[in-house]
A and B are shown apart, each in its own frame.
Chain A
Protein backbone atom coordinates (compact mmCIF):
# COMPACT_ATOMS: atom_id res chain seq x y z
CA UNK A 1 0.00 0.00 0.00
CA UNK A 2 2.84 2.36 0.89
CA UNK A 3 4.78 1.34 -2.17
CA UNK A 4 1.71 2.00 -4.30
CA UNK A 5 1.45 5.42 -2.75
CA UNK A 6 5.04 6.22 -3.61
CA UNK A 7 4.91 5.07 -7.22
CA UNK A 8 3.30 7.40 -9.68
CA UNK A 9 3.65 9.77 -12.55
CA UNK A 10 3.85 12.93 -10.51
CA UNK A 11 7.27 13.65 -9.04
CA UNK A 12 7.32 15.16 -5.55
CA UNK A 13 10.86 16.51 -6.14
CA UNK A 14 12.92 16.28 -2.93
CA UNK A 15 10.52 14.62 -0.53
CA UNK A 16 8.96 11.15 -0.66
CA UNK A 17 5.25 10.59 -0.93
CA UNK A 18 5.04 9.60 2.75
CA UNK A 19 6.48 12.91 3.89
CA UNK A 20 3.97 14.65 1.69
CA UNK A 21 1.15 12.58 3.09
CA UNK A 22 2.32 13.25 6.61
CA UNK A 23 2.48 16.95 5.91
CA UNK A 24 -1.04 16.75 4.58
CA UNK A 25 -2.38 14.86 7.59
CA UNK A 26 -0.64 17.13 10.09
CA UNK A 27 -2.06 20.14 8.25
CA UNK A 28 1.24 21.64 7.18
CA UNK A 29 0.46 24.91 5.42
CA UNK A 30 3.72 24.93 3.44
CA UNK A 31 2.47 22.07 1.27
CA UNK A 32 1.84 23.23 -2.31
CA UNK A 33 -1.78 22.84 -3.35
CA UNK A 34 -0.93 20.61 -6.32
CA UNK A 35 0.96 18.15 -4.14
CA UNK A 36 -1.89 18.16 -1.69
CA UNK A 37 -4.29 17.32 -4.49
CA UNK A 38 -2.12 14.57 -5.91
CA UNK A 39 -1.41 12.82 -2.65
CA UNK A 40 -4.89 12.94 -1.17
CA UNK A 41 -7.48 13.26 -3.89
CA UNK A 42 -5.72 11.29 -6.60
CA UNK A 43 -3.38 8.75 -5.16
CA UNK A 44 -4.72 7.94 -1.69
CA UNK A 45 -8.33 7.87 -2.80
CA UNK A 46 -7.45 5.65 -5.74
CA UNK A 47 -5.59 3.23 -3.51
CA UNK A 48 -8.51 3.05 -1.12
CA UNK A 49 -10.89 2.51 -4.04
CA UNK A 50 -8.83 -0.36 -5.41
CA UNK A 51 -8.66 -1.98 -1.99
CA UNK A 52 -12.43 -1.70 -1.51
CA UNK A 53 -13.35 -2.83 -5.01
CA UNK A 54 -10.89 -5.74 -5.07
CA UNK A 55 -12.07 -6.99 -1.73
CA UNK A 56 -15.75 -6.83 -2.60
CA UNK A 57 -15.32 -8.42 -6.03
CA UNK A 58 -13.45 -11.35 -4.49
CA UNK A 59 -15.96 -11.84 -1.67
CA UNK A 60 -18.92 -11.65 -4.05
CA UNK A 61 -17.26 -14.28 -6.24
CA UNK A 62 -16.58 -16.57 -3.31
CA UNK A 63 -20.10 -16.33 -1.91
CA UNK A 64 -21.68 -16.86 -5.33
CA UNK A 65 -19.56 -19.97 -5.74
CA UNK A 66 -20.78 -21.17 -2.40
CA UNK A 67 -24.38 -20.62 -3.33
CA UNK A 68 -24.14 -22.16 -6.80
CA UNK A 69 -21.80 -24.87 -5.46
CA UNK A 70 -19.49 -24.30 -8.40
CA UNK A 71 -16.10 -22.55 -8.72
CA UNK A 72 -17.09 -20.95 -12.02
CA UNK A 73 -19.82 -18.76 -10.59
CA UNK A 74 -18.57 -15.19 -10.48
CA UNK A 75 -20.22 -11.86 -11.11
CA UNK A 76 -18.70 -11.37 -14.55
CA UNK A 77 -19.17 -14.90 -15.88
CA UNK A 78 -22.84 -15.18 -14.98
CA UNK A 79 -23.77 -11.75 -16.27
CA UNK A 80 -24.12 -9.71 -13.08
CA UNK A 81 -21.52 -7.24 -14.23
CA UNK A 82 -23.22 -6.85 -17.60
CA UNK A 83 -26.58 -6.30 -15.98
CA UNK A 84 -25.09 -3.66 -13.73
CA UNK A 85 -23.22 -2.00 -16.62
CA UNK A 86 -26.35 -1.92 -18.72
CA UNK A 87 -28.52 -0.14 -16.19
CA UNK A 88 -25.66 2.14 -15.17
CA UNK A 89 -25.25 3.12 -18.82
CA UNK A 90 -28.96 3.82 -19.13
CA UNK A 91 -28.76 5.94 -16.00
CA UNK A 92 -25.85 7.93 -17.43
CA UNK A 93 -27.44 8.62 -20.77
CA UNK A 94 -30.99 9.23 -19.62
CA UNK A 95 -30.00 10.64 -16.24
CA UNK A 96 -28.12 13.51 -17.89
CA UNK A 97 -31.37 15.29 -18.60
CA UNK A 98 -32.14 15.94 -14.96
CA UNK A 99 -28.74 15.42 -13.37
CA UNK A 100 -28.01 19.13 -12.95
CA UNK A 101 -30.77 19.44 -10.38
CA UNK A 102 -29.34 16.75 -8.10
CA UNK A 103 -26.67 17.10 -5.39
CA UNK A 104 -23.43 15.16 -5.93
CA UNK A 105 -24.10 12.29 -3.53
CA UNK A 106 -27.42 11.60 -5.21
CA UNK A 107 -25.89 11.89 -8.66
CA UNK A 108 -23.24 9.32 -7.74
CA UNK A 109 -25.80 7.08 -6.09
CA UNK A 110 -28.21 7.29 -9.02
CA UNK A 111 -25.71 5.37 -11.11
CA UNK A 112 -24.91 2.97 -8.28
CA UNK A 113 -28.54 2.31 -7.49
CA UNK A 114 -29.29 1.50 -11.11
CA UNK A 115 -26.17 -0.68 -11.27
CA UNK A 116 -27.39 -2.50 -8.18
CA UNK A 117 -30.82 -3.03 -9.70
CA UNK A 118 -29.21 -4.26 -12.93
CA UNK A 119 -27.04 -6.74 -11.06
CA UNK A 120 -29.98 -7.91 -8.98
CA UNK A 121 -32.20 -8.48 -12.01
CA UNK A 122 -29.41 -10.37 -13.79
CA UNK A 123 -28.79 -12.43 -10.67
CA UNK A 124 -32.44 -13.43 -10.27
CA UNK A 125 -32.70 -14.27 -13.96
CA UNK A 126 -29.60 -16.47 -13.91
CA UNK A 127 -30.72 -18.18 -10.72
CA UNK A 128 -34.18 -18.91 -12.11
CA UNK A 129 -32.78 -20.26 -15.38
CA UNK A 130 -30.01 -22.41 -13.98
CA UNK A 131 -31.36 -23.80 -10.71
CA UNK A 132 -34.26 -26.10 -10.11
CA UNK A 133 -34.96 -28.07 -6.98
CA UNK A 134 -31.72 -26.96 -5.36
CA UNK A 135 -29.59 -28.32 -8.19
CA UNK A 136 -27.59 -25.94 -10.34
CA UNK A 137 -26.93 -26.78 -13.95
CA UNK A 138 -23.48 -25.34 -14.64
CA UNK A 139 -23.92 -25.17 -18.39
CA UNK A 140 -27.22 -23.32 -18.02
CA UNK A 141 -25.67 -20.95 -15.51
CA UNK A 142 -22.81 -19.99 -17.83
CA UNK A 143 -25.04 -19.77 -20.90
CA UNK A 144 -27.51 -17.54 -19.06
CA UNK A 145 -24.51 -15.33 -18.29
CA UNK A 146 -23.57 -15.28 -21.98
CA UNK A 147 -27.13 -14.33 -22.90
CA UNK A 148 -27.29 -11.47 -20.41
CA UNK A 149 -23.87 -10.25 -21.50
CA UNK A 150 -25.07 -10.26 -25.11
CA UNK A 151 -28.16 -8.22 -24.29
CA UNK A 152 -26.08 -5.83 -22.21
CA UNK A 153 -23.51 -5.48 -24.96
CA UNK A 154 -26.13 -4.76 -27.62
CA UNK A 155 -27.99 -2.14 -25.61
CA UNK A 156 -24.80 -0.51 -24.34
CA UNK A 157 -23.69 -0.33 -27.97
CA UNK A 158 -26.94 1.35 -28.89
CA UNK A 159 -26.51 3.82 -26.05
CA UNK A 160 -22.97 4.62 -27.19
CA UNK A 161 -24.35 5.23 -30.66
CA UNK A 162 -26.96 7.75 -29.51
CA UNK A 163 -24.99 9.37 -26.69
CA UNK A 164 -23.30 12.77 -26.74
CA UNK A 165 -19.58 13.33 -26.34
CA UNK A 166 -19.23 13.62 -22.59
CA UNK A 167 -21.57 10.70 -22.03
CA UNK A 168 -19.52 8.71 -24.49
CA UNK A 169 -16.42 9.27 -22.40
CA UNK A 170 -18.23 8.00 -19.31
CA UNK A 171 -19.52 4.93 -21.13
CA UNK A 172 -16.14 3.98 -22.54
CA UNK A 173 -14.74 4.24 -19.06
CA UNK A 174 -17.29 1.66 -17.95
CA UNK A 175 -16.49 -0.88 -20.59
CA UNK A 176 -12.77 -0.76 -19.98
CA UNK A 177 -12.84 -0.59 -16.22
CA UNK A 178 -10.66 1.88 -14.40
CA UNK A 179 -9.99 3.08 -10.91
CA UNK A 180 -8.99 6.54 -12.06
CA UNK A 181 -12.33 8.08 -11.17
CA UNK A 182 -11.75 7.69 -7.44
CA UNK A 183 -13.18 10.30 -5.12
CA UNK A 184 -13.70 10.27 -1.39
CA UNK A 185 -17.48 10.44 -1.83
CA UNK A 186 -17.37 7.21 -3.82
CA UNK A 187 -15.06 5.61 -1.29
CA UNK A 188 -17.40 6.47 1.55
CA UNK A 189 -20.39 4.95 -0.21
CA UNK A 190 -18.42 1.83 -1.12
CA UNK A 191 -17.13 1.52 2.42
CA UNK A 192 -20.68 1.61 3.78
CA UNK A 193 -21.75 -1.05 1.30
CA UNK A 194 -18.76 -3.14 2.32
CA UNK A 195 -19.51 -2.83 6.03
CA UNK A 196 -23.13 -3.88 5.64
CA UNK A 197 -22.37 -6.77 3.29
CA UNK A 198 -19.43 -8.17 5.25
CA UNK A 199 -21.31 -7.94 8.50
CA UNK A 200 -23.86 -10.37 7.09
CA UNK A 201 -21.81 -12.46 4.66
CA UNK A 202 -18.47 -13.10 6.36
CA UNK A 203 -19.90 -15.20 9.23
CA UNK A 204 -21.59 -17.49 6.69
CA UNK A 205 -18.58 -19.79 6.19
CA UNK A 206 -20.19 -22.71 8.02
CA UNK A 207 -23.44 -22.32 6.14
CA UNK A 208 -21.68 -22.28 2.75
CA UNK A 209 -19.71 -25.38 3.72
CA UNK A 210 -22.93 -27.15 4.60
CA UNK A 211 -24.38 -26.13 1.23
CA UNK A 212 -21.83 -28.47 -0.37
CA UNK A 213 -23.83 -31.37 1.07
CA UNK A 214 -26.84 -30.18 -0.89
CA UNK A 215 -29.51 -27.71 0.10
CA UNK A 216 -31.73 -30.24 1.83
CA UNK A 217 -28.97 -31.65 3.95
CA UNK A 218 -27.85 -28.14 4.83
CA UNK A 219 -31.35 -27.50 6.08
CA UNK A 220 -31.14 -30.58 8.28
CA UNK A 221 -28.07 -29.04 9.84
CA UNK A 222 -30.16 -26.12 10.99
CA UNK A 223 -29.35 -23.69 8.21
CA UNK A 224 -32.15 -21.58 6.80
CA UNK A 225 -31.21 -22.16 3.18
CA UNK A 226 -33.86 -19.91 1.63
CA UNK A 227 -32.85 -16.99 3.81
CA UNK A 228 -29.17 -17.59 3.10
CA UNK A 229 -29.75 -17.59 -0.65
CA UNK A 230 -31.79 -14.40 -0.50
CA UNK A 231 -29.08 -12.68 1.51
CA UNK A 232 -26.36 -13.77 -0.89
CA UNK A 233 -28.38 -12.78 -3.97
CA UNK A 234 -29.12 -9.29 -2.66
CA UNK A 235 -25.71 -8.61 -1.15
CA UNK A 236 -23.65 -9.85 -4.09
CA UNK A 237 -25.83 -7.77 -6.39
CA UNK A 238 -25.22 -4.81 -4.09
CA UNK A 239 -21.46 -5.35 -4.00
CA UNK A 240 -21.04 -6.06 -7.71
CA UNK A 241 -23.43 -3.24 -8.60
CA UNK A 242 -21.62 -0.60 -6.60
CA UNK A 243 -18.20 -1.79 -7.76
CA UNK A 244 -19.34 -1.56 -11.37
CA UNK A 245 -20.86 1.87 -10.79
CA UNK A 246 -17.58 3.30 -9.52
CA UNK A 247 -14.92 1.40 -11.38
CA UNK A 248 -16.55 -0.17 -14.43
CA UNK A 249 -16.04 -3.74 -15.51
CA UNK A 250 -13.01 -5.23 -13.82
CA UNK A 251 -13.20 -8.89 -14.62
CA UNK A 252 -11.99 -12.11 -13.09
CA UNK A 253 -11.05 -10.93 -9.58
CA UNK A 254 -13.87 -13.05 -8.17
CA UNK A 255 -12.55 -16.04 -10.08
CA UNK A 256 -8.81 -15.80 -9.44
CA UNK A 257 -8.83 -15.24 -5.68
CA UNK A 258 -11.12 -18.10 -4.61
CA UNK A 259 -9.30 -20.39 -7.04
CA UNK A 260 -5.93 -19.69 -5.44
CA UNK A 261 -7.35 -19.95 -1.93
CA UNK A 262 -9.03 -23.25 -2.76
CA UNK A 263 -5.65 -24.69 -3.69
CA UNK A 264 -4.48 -23.99 -0.15
CA UNK A 265 -7.53 -24.39 2.07
CA UNK A 266 -9.60 -26.76 -0.10
CA UNK A 267 -13.14 -25.45 -0.18
CA UNK A 268 -13.40 -24.56 3.47
CA UNK A 269 -15.43 -21.36 3.25
CA UNK A 270 -14.71 -20.73 6.89
CA UNK A 271 -11.22 -19.70 5.74
CA UNK A 272 -11.62 -18.68 2.13
CA UNK A 273 -14.46 -16.24 2.72
CA UNK A 274 -12.59 -13.82 5.01
CA UNK A 275 -9.29 -14.44 3.23
CA UNK A 276 -10.76 -13.57 -0.15
CA UNK A 277 -11.68 -10.19 1.31
CA UNK A 278 -8.01 -9.58 2.10
CA UNK A 279 -6.43 -11.20 -0.95
CA UNK A 280 -8.87 -9.55 -3.33
CA UNK A 281 -7.79 -6.11 -2.22
CA UNK A 282 -4.12 -7.04 -2.42
CA UNK A 283 -4.54 -8.38 -5.95
CA UNK A 284 -6.38 -5.35 -7.24
CA UNK A 285 -4.02 -2.93 -5.54
CA UNK A 286 -1.02 -4.61 -7.18
CA UNK A 287 -2.79 -4.78 -10.53
CA UNK A 288 -3.74 -1.12 -10.35
CA UNK A 289 -0.26 -0.02 -9.33
CA UNK A 290 1.18 -1.93 -12.28
CA UNK A 291 -1.46 -0.58 -14.64
CA UNK A 292 -0.67 3.05 -13.85
CA UNK A 293 3.12 2.70 -13.86
CA UNK A 294 4.01 0.20 -16.56
CA UNK A 295 3.32 2.53 -19.48
CA UNK A 296 3.78 5.85 -17.60
CA UNK A 297 2.84 8.64 -18.10
CA UNK A 298 -0.18 7.00 -19.72
CA UNK A 299 -1.96 4.07 -18.08
CA UNK A 300 -3.08 0.59 -19.06
CA UNK A 301 -6.76 -0.28 -18.51
CA UNK A 302 -6.81 -2.50 -15.44
CA UNK A 303 -9.23 -4.95 -17.06
CA UNK A 304 -6.39 -6.03 -19.37
CA UNK A 305 -4.24 -7.09 -16.41
CA UNK A 306 -6.95 -8.94 -14.51
CA UNK A 307 -8.07 -10.54 -17.76
CA UNK A 308 -4.53 -11.77 -18.43
CA UNK A 309 -4.43 -13.32 -14.98
CA UNK A 310 -8.01 -14.57 -14.95
CA UNK A 311 -8.40 -16.25 -18.30
CA UNK A 312 -5.78 -18.96 -17.57
CA UNK A 313 -7.49 -19.63 -14.23
CA UNK A 314 -10.79 -19.95 -16.07
CA UNK A 315 -9.25 -22.45 -18.45
CA UNK A 316 -7.65 -24.37 -15.57
CA UNK A 317 -11.02 -24.74 -13.82
CA UNK A 318 -12.64 -25.81 -17.08
CA UNK A 319 -10.02 -28.50 -17.60
CA UNK A 320 -10.54 -29.77 -14.08
CA UNK A 321 -14.28 -29.96 -14.60
CA UNK A 322 -14.12 -31.36 -18.11
CA UNK A 323 -15.41 -34.72 -16.97
CA UNK A 324 -18.22 -33.32 -14.87
CA UNK A 325 -19.48 -30.95 -17.53
CA UNK A 326 -20.16 -33.72 -20.01
Chain B
Protein backbone atom coordinates (compact mmCIF):
# COMPACT_ATOMS: atom_id res chain seq x y z
CA UNK B 1 0.00 0.00 0.00
CA UNK B 2 2.49 2.57 1.15
CA UNK B 3 6.18 2.07 1.55
CA UNK B 4 8.84 4.51 2.64
CA UNK B 5 12.53 4.10 3.16
CA UNK B 6 14.69 6.22 5.43
CA UNK B 7 12.50 9.27 5.85
CA UNK B 8 14.39 12.26 7.21
CA UNK B 9 12.72 15.49 8.12
CA UNK B 10 14.30 18.54 9.67
CA UNK B 11 12.62 21.72 10.82
CA UNK B 12 15.36 24.34 10.85
CA UNK B 13 18.15 22.48 12.66
CA UNK B 14 15.90 20.19 14.64
CA UNK B 15 15.75 16.62 13.51
CA UNK B 16 12.12 15.63 13.68
CA UNK B 17 12.28 12.35 11.79
CA UNK B 18 15.40 10.28 11.47
CA UNK B 19 15.60 7.49 8.90
CA UNK B 20 12.18 6.02 9.54
CA UNK B 21 11.31 2.96 7.48
CA UNK B 22 7.71 1.97 7.13
CA UNK B 23 5.84 -0.49 5.00
CA UNK B 24 2.12 -0.96 5.29
CA UNK B 25 0.07 -3.62 3.51
CA UNK B 26 -3.52 -3.79 2.32
CA UNK B 27 -6.23 -4.16 4.92
CA UNK B 28 -4.10 -3.20 7.89
CA UNK B 29 -4.98 -0.98 10.82
CA UNK B 30 -1.74 0.65 11.96
CA UNK B 31 -1.55 2.60 15.19
CA UNK B 32 1.31 5.05 15.66
CA UNK B 33 2.03 5.62 19.34
CA UNK B 34 4.73 7.38 21.30
CA UNK B 35 5.36 10.17 23.80
CA UNK B 36 4.88 13.88 22.96
CA UNK B 37 7.23 15.23 20.34
CA UNK B 38 8.17 11.78 19.06
CA UNK B 39 7.34 12.76 15.48
CA UNK B 40 4.08 10.83 15.15
CA UNK B 41 2.17 13.61 13.43
CA UNK B 42 5.17 14.56 11.32
CA UNK B 43 5.48 11.01 10.04
CA UNK B 44 1.79 11.00 9.18
CA UNK B 45 2.10 14.34 7.40
CA UNK B 46 5.08 13.17 5.37
CA UNK B 47 3.29 9.99 4.36
CA UNK B 48 0.16 11.94 3.46
CA UNK B 49 2.16 14.20 1.13
CA UNK B 50 1.53 17.28 3.26
CA UNK B 51 5.03 18.45 3.92
CA UNK B 52 7.90 18.70 1.58
CA UNK B 53 10.91 17.27 3.32
CA UNK B 54 13.27 19.31 1.21
CA UNK B 55 14.99 16.52 -0.65
CA UNK B 56 13.63 13.78 -2.78
CA UNK B 57 12.03 11.17 -0.58
CA UNK B 58 11.08 7.87 -1.99
CA UNK B 59 7.64 7.21 -0.69
CA UNK B 60 5.78 4.69 -2.78
CA UNK B 61 2.01 4.77 -2.70
CA UNK B 62 0.62 1.79 -4.60
CA UNK B 63 3.95 1.17 -6.34
CA UNK B 64 4.14 4.74 -7.64
CA UNK B 65 6.17 7.58 -6.14
CA UNK B 66 3.79 9.71 -4.08
CA UNK B 67 4.76 13.04 -5.62
CA UNK B 68 4.14 11.67 -9.11
CA UNK B 69 0.45 11.20 -8.35
CA UNK B 70 -2.03 13.79 -9.53
CA UNK B 71 -3.61 15.65 -6.62
CA UNK B 72 -7.12 14.98 -7.96
CA UNK B 73 -6.50 11.24 -8.24
CA UNK B 74 -4.94 11.00 -4.81
CA UNK B 75 -8.05 12.51 -3.24
CA UNK B 76 -10.04 9.43 -4.27
CA UNK B 77 -7.45 6.98 -2.97
CA UNK B 78 -6.57 8.54 0.34
CA UNK B 79 -7.97 10.98 2.88
CA UNK B 80 -6.62 12.57 6.01
CA UNK B 81 -8.19 13.59 9.25
CA UNK B 82 -6.09 16.37 10.77
CA UNK B 83 -5.32 16.95 14.39
CA UNK B 84 -6.15 20.63 14.28
CA UNK B 85 -9.37 21.13 12.44
CA UNK B 86 -10.52 24.58 11.59
CA UNK B 87 -12.79 25.91 14.33
CA UNK B 88 -14.33 28.67 12.25
CA UNK B 89 -16.27 27.51 9.21
CA UNK B 90 -19.44 29.59 8.75
CA UNK B 91 -21.40 26.83 7.02
CA UNK B 92 -24.02 24.25 7.92
CA UNK B 93 -22.82 20.88 9.19
CA UNK B 94 -24.06 19.06 6.10
CA UNK B 95 -22.18 21.51 3.86
CA UNK B 96 -18.96 20.75 5.72
CA UNK B 97 -19.51 17.00 5.32
CA UNK B 98 -20.33 17.55 1.65
CA UNK B 99 -16.80 18.91 1.16
CA UNK B 100 -15.70 15.29 1.36
CA UNK B 101 -17.54 14.73 -1.91
CA UNK B 102 -15.83 17.63 -3.74
CA UNK B 103 -13.55 15.29 -5.68
CA UNK B 104 -16.61 13.60 -7.18
CA UNK B 105 -18.83 16.33 -8.56
CA UNK B 106 -18.29 19.43 -10.62
CA UNK B 107 -20.68 22.07 -9.43
CA UNK B 108 -23.82 20.45 -8.00
CA UNK B 109 -23.73 17.30 -5.83
CA UNK B 110 -25.46 14.29 -7.31
CA UNK B 111 -27.75 11.77 -5.64
CA UNK B 112 -24.99 9.40 -4.60
CA UNK B 113 -23.06 12.31 -3.09
CA UNK B 114 -26.02 13.12 -0.87
CA UNK B 115 -26.41 9.46 0.03
CA UNK B 116 -22.73 9.15 0.94
CA UNK B 117 -22.78 12.18 3.20
CA UNK B 118 -26.00 11.08 4.90
CA UNK B 119 -24.57 7.65 5.44
CA UNK B 120 -21.36 9.05 6.88
CA UNK B 121 -23.30 11.38 9.18
CA UNK B 122 -25.36 8.43 10.44
CA UNK B 123 -22.23 6.44 11.15
CA UNK B 124 -20.54 9.16 13.13
CA UNK B 125 -23.77 10.12 14.87
CA UNK B 126 -24.04 13.71 13.62
CA UNK B 127 -27.13 13.28 11.43
CA UNK B 128 -29.28 15.12 13.99
CA UNK B 129 -26.89 18.09 13.73
CA UNK B 130 -26.93 18.33 9.94
CA UNK B 131 -28.84 21.61 9.76
CA UNK B 132 -26.97 23.28 12.59
CA UNK B 133 -24.28 25.92 12.12
CA UNK B 134 -20.90 24.22 12.30
CA UNK B 135 -19.57 27.06 14.46
CA UNK B 136 -22.19 26.42 17.14
CA UNK B 137 -21.03 22.84 17.79
CA UNK B 138 -18.88 21.63 20.67
CA UNK B 139 -15.32 20.40 20.13
CA UNK B 140 -16.27 16.74 20.10
CA UNK B 141 -19.17 17.30 17.73
CA UNK B 142 -16.93 19.21 15.31
CA UNK B 143 -14.49 16.33 15.49
CA UNK B 144 -17.25 13.90 14.48
CA UNK B 145 -18.30 16.16 11.62
CA UNK B 146 -14.80 15.97 10.17
CA UNK B 147 -14.76 12.23 10.71
CA UNK B 148 -17.95 12.03 8.66
CA UNK B 149 -16.28 14.21 6.01
CA UNK B 150 -13.27 11.92 5.53
CA UNK B 151 -15.48 8.82 5.45
CA UNK B 152 -17.69 10.46 2.83
CA UNK B 153 -14.56 11.25 0.82
CA UNK B 154 -13.47 7.63 0.69
CA UNK B 155 -16.92 6.23 -0.08
CA UNK B 156 -16.14 5.01 -3.60
CA UNK B 157 -15.30 1.93 -5.68
CA UNK B 158 -11.53 2.27 -5.57
CA UNK B 159 -9.94 -0.92 -4.31
CA UNK B 160 -7.53 -0.42 -1.41
CA UNK B 161 -8.14 3.04 -0.03
CA UNK B 162 -5.92 4.65 2.57
CA UNK B 163 -7.05 6.73 5.52
CA UNK B 164 -4.77 8.80 7.74
CA UNK B 165 -6.10 9.93 11.09
CA UNK B 166 -4.23 12.17 13.50
CA UNK B 167 -5.60 11.68 17.00
CA UNK B 168 -9.20 11.15 15.95
CA UNK B 169 -10.29 10.47 19.52
CA UNK B 170 -9.52 13.95 20.89
CA UNK B 171 -12.53 15.44 22.68
CA UNK B 172 -14.70 12.39 22.06
CA UNK B 173 -16.59 10.66 24.87
CA UNK B 174 -16.11 6.94 25.53
CA UNK B 175 -19.00 5.79 23.37
CA UNK B 176 -17.93 7.88 20.41
CA UNK B 177 -14.30 6.87 20.83
CA UNK B 178 -15.29 3.23 20.48
CA UNK B 179 -17.69 4.01 17.69
CA UNK B 180 -14.98 5.86 15.74
CA UNK B 181 -12.48 3.04 16.09
CA UNK B 182 -15.14 0.46 15.14
CA UNK B 183 -15.79 2.46 11.99
CA UNK B 184 -12.11 2.55 11.13
CA UNK B 185 -11.81 -1.17 11.88
CA UNK B 186 -14.73 -1.96 9.56
CA UNK B 187 -13.14 0.20 6.91
CA UNK B 188 -9.89 -1.78 7.08
CA UNK B 189 -11.79 -5.09 6.96
CA UNK B 190 -12.79 -4.22 3.40
CA UNK B 191 -9.14 -4.47 2.36
CA UNK B 192 -8.51 -0.79 3.01
CA UNK B 193 -5.75 0.59 5.17
CA UNK B 194 -5.82 3.03 8.06
CA UNK B 195 -2.82 4.67 9.71
CA UNK B 196 -3.89 6.26 12.98
CA UNK B 197 -2.01 8.29 15.56
CA UNK B 198 -3.37 7.31 18.96
CA UNK B 199 -2.57 8.35 22.50
CA UNK B 200 -4.67 5.74 24.25
CA UNK B 201 -2.47 2.63 24.29
CA UNK B 202 -5.30 0.34 25.37
CA UNK B 203 -7.41 1.46 22.43
CA UNK B 204 -4.45 0.80 20.16
CA UNK B 205 -4.05 -2.66 21.67
CA UNK B 206 -7.71 -3.48 21.17
CA UNK B 207 -8.15 -2.30 17.60
CA UNK B 208 -4.84 -2.13 15.76
CA UNK B 209 -3.37 -4.93 13.68
CA UNK B 210 0.10 -3.47 14.01
CA UNK B 211 1.60 -0.85 16.27
CA UNK B 212 4.45 1.53 15.46
CA UNK B 213 6.16 2.95 18.53
CA UNK B 214 8.10 6.15 17.97
CA UNK B 215 10.49 8.04 20.16
CA UNK B 216 12.63 11.09 19.35
CA UNK B 217 12.00 10.85 15.64
CA UNK B 218 12.85 7.20 15.33
CA UNK B 219 10.71 4.15 14.91
CA UNK B 220 11.83 1.96 17.79
CA UNK B 221 9.38 -0.89 17.54
CA UNK B 222 6.97 -2.07 14.88
CA UNK B 223 4.84 -5.19 15.03
CA UNK B 224 1.68 -6.78 16.40
CA UNK B 225 0.34 -5.36 19.69
CA UNK B 226 1.62 -8.44 21.53
CA UNK B 227 5.15 -7.77 20.32
CA UNK B 228 5.22 -4.02 20.94
CA UNK B 229 3.34 -3.82 24.21
CA UNK B 230 6.10 -5.32 26.33
CA UNK B 231 6.68 -3.65 29.72
CA UNK B 232 10.38 -2.84 29.11
CA UNK B 233 9.81 -1.28 25.69
CA UNK B 234 6.85 0.83 26.77
CA UNK B 235 8.27 2.04 30.08
CA UNK B 236 11.54 2.95 28.35
CA UNK B 237 9.83 4.88 25.59
CA UNK B 238 7.48 6.80 27.87
CA UNK B 239 10.02 7.02 30.68
CA UNK B 240 7.32 5.94 33.10
CA UNK B 241 6.83 2.61 34.87
CA UNK B 242 4.12 0.36 33.49
CA UNK B 243 2.72 -3.15 33.87
CA UNK B 244 1.08 -5.11 31.10
CA UNK B 245 -1.43 -7.88 31.65
CA UNK B 246 -4.11 -9.59 29.60
CA UNK B 247 -7.44 -7.94 29.07
CA UNK B 248 -9.92 -10.11 31.01
CA UNK B 249 -12.49 -10.10 28.21
CA UNK B 250 -10.71 -10.15 24.86
CA UNK B 251 -7.23 -11.29 25.91
CA UNK B 252 -5.50 -8.29 24.25
CA UNK B 253 -2.61 -6.64 26.08
CA UNK B 254 -3.77 -4.20 28.73
CA UNK B 255 -1.39 -1.44 29.73
CA UNK B 256 -1.47 -0.01 33.24
CA UNK B 257 0.78 2.91 34.09
CA UNK B 258 2.17 3.81 37.48
Contacts and interface: CB of A to CB of B under 8 A. Distances in A.
The answer to whether A binds B is yes
Interface stretch (A34-42, A245-253, A263-271): A263-271
Nearest to A227: B71
A127 to B, nearest CB: 19
Contact of B92 (A205, A220, A266, A270): A266
Interface string A10-46: 0000000000000000000000000000000000000
A203 B95 CA distance: 17
B50 to A, nearest CB: 5
Contacts, number: 72
B120 interface: no
Most buried by A among B48, B99, B100: B99
Nearest to A222: B75
Interface in B174-218: none
A261 to B, nearest CB: 12
Given A213-B99, A220-B48, A222-B71, A262 B90 contact: yes
A224 B92 CA distance: 24
A128 interface: no
B158 to A, nearest CB: 13
B102 A221 contact: yes
B91 A222 contact: no
Nearest to B82: A217
Contact of A222 (B45, B74, B107): B74
5 contacts: A214-B82, A221-B102, A222-B71, A266-B90, A267-B90
Nearest to B104: A222
Most buried by B among A210, A216, A224, A268: A216
Interface string A202-238: 0101100110111011011111100000000000000
Contact of A212 (B72, B84, B86, B103): B86
Interface of B: 45, 48-50, 71-76, 78-80, 82, 84-86, 88-92, 95, 99-100, 102-103, 107, 133, 153
A267 B91 contact: yes
Contacts of B45: 216
For chain A, what secondary structure do more than half of its interface residues adopt (helix, strand, loop), or is it mixed? Answer: helix
Given A216-B50, A220-B79, A210 B99 contact: yes
Contacts of A267: 89-91
**Ranked 8 nearest A-B pairs via Cβ:** A222-B75, A267-B90, A222-B103, A222-B72, A212-B89, A220-B80, A266-B90, A221-B102
Given A206-B107, A216-B50, A268 B75 contact: no
Contacts of B103: 221-222
A267 B89 CA distance: 8
Contacts of A213: 85-86, 89, 99
Contacts of B90: 212, 262, 266-267
A324 B102 CA distance: 29
Contacts of B76: 222
Contact of B91 (A216, A224, A268, A324): A268
B167 to A, nearest CB: 15
A323 to B, nearest CB: 11
Interface in A171-211: 203, 205-206, 209-210
Contacts of A222: 71-76, 102-103
Contacts of B82: 214, 216-217
A112 B97 CA distance: 43
Given A221-B75, A222-B74, A222-B76, 17 more contacts: A206-B102, A209-B95, A213-B85, A214-B82, A216-B82, A217-B86, A220-B48, A220-B74, A220-B80, A221-B99, A223-B71, A223-B102, A224-B71, A266-B95, A267-B91, A270-B107, A324-B88
